[in-house]
């Protein structure tokens, strides 16, 4: 398809890929960045296709627009502008955010930011600015396509020593498609290789003509390393935001609505999500709904410093605990008003709740403690080494990654084995020999050494090892509800009771949430079910039954038991930038 779009013979494109160290065949996939580079080398100009809004997401998009557009204008007050930072990898996006945090942290954070939740705030004078640490262009695009125009202003980071790169162009395309005003930060001006005129010329070719060249694009020279220009950059961000200040307002007194910008399952805290409040104020104990489905109740909220807060106003990001399952990045969270409304939402088809599985936490460039496969790589030729490194370096995943701890040409050596032992890691050889004495040392040091003749076989070995260390994914499927009508015996951590199933079904072994009045008071497990004094595997809606429950919370008449099944499985490994073999 790539060769067809270029209108060139397949052999010509494959030859150009080989020059770039990519060994590809007829049906192989290549990532956008590689395609863009090769296209430019062949005299073409590439730009990414931005996915449109899916039909099933139209209702969500309309809902958000309707809520924000229908507000009583007399109740709107200014809120902090929300800023997203984008640009090519290694151009200093995270470094700029770090510089902003260090020089403009919110008052009271003497020790700096103590807990990253995917977003934080900085002060400029008396004004606050919210910064979203996006996991990349793709996640930002997903947020926008789901109706969450979370950003008011974008900062496009371009390295002054490297200039416009493929992801720079991609970021420009996404920002323009989202119709977000932006400021260009020309970073790394402290470097001797920095050439501002060259970068401005490249940006002008993309239609971004700087103001000092009689254009309309604001560009600020900065150095994230020295802090030069950071204050000026913030001034320009606020200036751009003020040009549309009538839109950057919200009603803090309505029921809260916000967007999930980060989500994951924490071993100690359970499902956790970072929510950017867009309107209203989010409070502790608020009832949370997504797409009309009950998703839980706010148990605790923490701000970007890790401090517990009682409320979150518009423009404020908070880490929210209390979700039944972790929502997806880009989901719209709405607070429900009453228990009656909650009950209606909870009665929605269970298939939807079953599909609300855990989303992995997005990666942060500076802090994610990924599990890694440590590799010492040996190949026969430089071309092979570059090709394999190119493939492995493009392995991008929020939870796992590959770390090259050693590389070189020629046969595997004793030093390679010792280096792998220290890491610890593995030794992978491509078209090289492994001498008997090296294998003997590897056995002695308990280091795995493997040799391959096909690059894709080597890559598959790395894939298998990544899958082996990939965190498991947990999903929850709601089964049904039972009301306790009588309690016969209670003690020793078990209760025998009678009840009636009024929704769905209950099954033996199912996990339980115990609700009393409007609060959850405990959890348990179904040990046994009986119907007509006979053991049964399940009881359906409308039937009465005897039930034996294991729980630290003794049951009472009137309690409501909510049954669910929790499944844990290995999440499929999907790698960004992967060249797949068909």
Is 234 in the same domain as 144? yes
**Can you give the three-state secondary structure of 281-300, one letter per residue?**
CEECCCEEEECCEEEEEEEE
Same domain for 111 and 237:
yes
* 60 within a domain of the structure (yes/no): no
Same domain? 112 vs 238: yes
Does a structural domain hold residue 564?
A: yes
Q: What is the CATH number of the domain that holds 316?
A: 2.40.30.10
* Residue 446 burial by Cβ neighbours in a 10 Å radius (0-12, 13-18, 19+): exposed
Q: How far apart are CA 178 and CA 145, in angstroms?
A: 9
Q: Are residues 29 and 147 in the same domain?
A: no
pLDDT at position 358, please? 32
pLDDT of the residue at 509: 94
Closest CA to 417 of 383, 442, 388, 454: 442
Q: Are 20 and 383 in contact (CB under 8 A)?
A: no
Query: Is 406 within 8 Å of 436 (Cβ atoms)?
Result: no
Looking at 231, 249, 267, which one is the last position of a domain? 249
Q: Are residues 243 and 105 in the same domain?
A: yes
Asked whether residue 136 is domain-assigned, the answer is: yes
Tell me: do 349 and 380 sit in the same domain.
no
Residues 555, 483: contact at Cβ < 8 Å? no
Q: What is the CA radius of gyration of the chain?
A: 28
pLDDT at 39: 80
Question: Of 330, 355, 380, at which residue does a domain stop?
Answer: 355
Q: Report residue 26 as tokens.
A: 């007829």
Dihedral (CA of 546, 552, 553, 556) sign: positive
Q: Are residues 257 and 236 in the same domain?
A: no
- The pLDDT, as a whole number, for residue 552 is 92
Question: How many domains does the chain fold into?
Answer: 5
**Same domain for 201 and 263?**
no
Q: What is the pLDDT of residue 338?
A: 63
Q: What is the DSSP letter of 454?
A: S
Report field, pTM of the whole predicted structure over 0.85 = no
- Residue 92, φ and ψ in degrees, nearest 5: 100, 25
Q: How far apart are CA 277 and CA 21, in angstroms?
A: 46
Per-residue pLDDT of the chain (582 residues; tens, 9 = 90+): 677 777 777 777 777 776 665 666 665 666 665 677 778 777 777 766 544 444 444 455 556 667 777 888 889 999 999 998 888 767 888 788 888 877 554 444 333 333 445 788 888 888 999 998 654 444 444 444 443 467 899 999 999 999 998 778 878 888 888 788 999 999 999 999 999 999 999 999 999 999 999 999 999 999 999 999 999 999 999 999 999 888 899 999 999 999 888 776 665 677 888 899 999 999 999 999 887 788 889 999 998 888 899 999 999 999 999 988 778 767 889 998 764 554 444 433 322 222 222 333 333 443 345 788 999 999 877 657 777 887 787 777 777 889 998 888 788 988 899 989 988 999 999 988 898 999 999 999 999 999 998 887 898 899 889 888 887 777 889 999 999 999 999 888 999 999 999 999 999 999 999 999 888 899 999 999 999 889 999 999 999 999 999 999 999 999 999 999 988 876 667 654 444 443
**Domain of residue 224, CATH code:** 3.40.50.300
Domain match, 301 and 319 both: yes
Helices (H), 29-115: 32-41, 58-69, 93-104
- Tell me, yes or no, whether 237 lies in a domain: yes
Q: Is residue 16 part of a domain?
A: yes
297 and 338 part of one domain = yes
CA atoms within 13 A on the CB side of 131: 26
Residue 206 falls inside a structural domain = yes
Q: Indicate whether 206 and 335 sit together in one domain.
A: no
- Both 140 and 207 in one domain: the answer is yes
Domain edge (last residue) among 329, 355, 381:
355
Separation of alpha carbons 497 and 547, rounded Å? 5
8 within domain boundaries? yes
Q: Which of 569, 549, 552 is nearest to 496 (CA)?
A: 549
* Structural domain contains residue 59: no
Using DSSP bridges, classify how beta strands 119-124 and 127-132 pair: parallel, antiparallel or unpaired. antiparallel
Residue 59 near residue 53, CB atoms below 8 Å: no
Establish how many alpha carbons lie within 13 A of residue 244's alpha carbon, considering only the half-sphere containing its beta carbon: 15
Domain encompassing residue 10: 2-41
């Amino acid at each position: 398809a790539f060769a067809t779009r270029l209108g060139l013979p397949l052999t010509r494109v494959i030859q150009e890929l080989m020059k770039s160290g990519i060994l590809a065949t007829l049906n192989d996939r290549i990532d956008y960045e590689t395609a863009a580079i090769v296209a430019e080398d062949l005299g073409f100009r590439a730009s990414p296709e931005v996915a449109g809004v899916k039909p099933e997401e139209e209702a969500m998009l309309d809902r958000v627009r309707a809520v924000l557009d229908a507000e009583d204008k007399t109740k709107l007050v200014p809120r902090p502008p929300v800023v997203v930072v984008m640009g090519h990898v290694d151009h200093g996006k995270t470094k700029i955010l770090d510089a902003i945090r260090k020089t403009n942290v919110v008052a009271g954070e003497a020790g700096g930011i103590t807990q990253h939740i995917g977003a934080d705030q900085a002060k400029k004078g008396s004004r606050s600015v919210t910064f979203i640490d996006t996991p990349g262009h793709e996640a930002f695009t997903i947020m926008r396509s789901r109706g969450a125009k979370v950003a008011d202003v974008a900062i496009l980071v371009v390295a002054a020593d490297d200039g416009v790169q493929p992801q720079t162009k991609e970021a420009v395309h996404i920002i323009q498609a989202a119709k977000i005003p932006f400021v260009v930060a020309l970073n790394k001006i402290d470097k001797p290789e920095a050439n501002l005129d060259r970068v401005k010329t490249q940006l002008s070719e993309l239609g971004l003509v700087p103001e000092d060249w009689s254009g309309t694009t604001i560009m600020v020279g900065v150095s994230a390393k020295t802090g030069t220009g950071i204050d000026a950059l913030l001034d320009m961000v606020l200036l751009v935001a003020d040009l549309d200040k009538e839109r950057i307002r919200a009603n803090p007194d309505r029921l809260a609505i916000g967007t999930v910008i980060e989500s994951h399952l924490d071993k100690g805290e359970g499902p956790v999500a970072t929510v950017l409040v867009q309107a209203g104020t989010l409070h502790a104990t608020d009832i949370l709904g997504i797409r009309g489905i009950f998703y839980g109740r706010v148990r605790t909220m923490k701000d970007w410093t890790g401090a517990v807060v009682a409320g979150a106003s518009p423009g404020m990001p908070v880490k929210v605990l209390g979700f039944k399952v972790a929502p997806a990045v880009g989901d719209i969270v709405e607070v429900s008003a009453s228990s009656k409304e909650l009950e209606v939402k909870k009665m929605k088809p269970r298939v939807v709740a079953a599909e609300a599985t855990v989303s992995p936490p997005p990666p942060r460039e500076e802090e994610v403690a990924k599990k890694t496969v440590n590799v010492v790589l040996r190949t026969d030729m430089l071309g092979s080494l570059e090709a394999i490194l190119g493939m492995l370096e493009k392995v991008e995943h929020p939870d796992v990654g590959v770390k090259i701890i050693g590389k070189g040409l020629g046969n595997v050596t004793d030093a390679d084995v010792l280096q792998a032992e220290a890491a610890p890691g593995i030794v992978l050889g491509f078209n090289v020999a492994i001498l008997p004495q090296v294998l003997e040392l590897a056995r002695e040091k308990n280091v795995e050494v493997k040799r391959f003749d096909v690059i894709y076989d080597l890559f598959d070995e790395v894939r298998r090892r990544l899958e082996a260390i990939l965190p498991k994914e947990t999903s929850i499927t709601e089964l049904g509800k039972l009301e306790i009508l009588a309690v016969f015996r209670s003690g020793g951590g078990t209760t025998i009771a009678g009840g009636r199933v009024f929704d769905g079904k209950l099954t033996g072994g199912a996990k339980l949430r115990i609700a009393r009045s409007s609060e959850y008071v405990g959890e348990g497990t179904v040990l046994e079910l009986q119907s007509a004094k006979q053991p049964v595997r399940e009881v359906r809606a409308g039937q009465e039954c005897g039930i034996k429950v294991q729980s630290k919370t003794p049951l009472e008449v009137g309690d409501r038991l909510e049954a669910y099944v929790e499944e844990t499985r290995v999440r499929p490994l999907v790698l960004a930038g992967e060249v797949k073999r068909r």
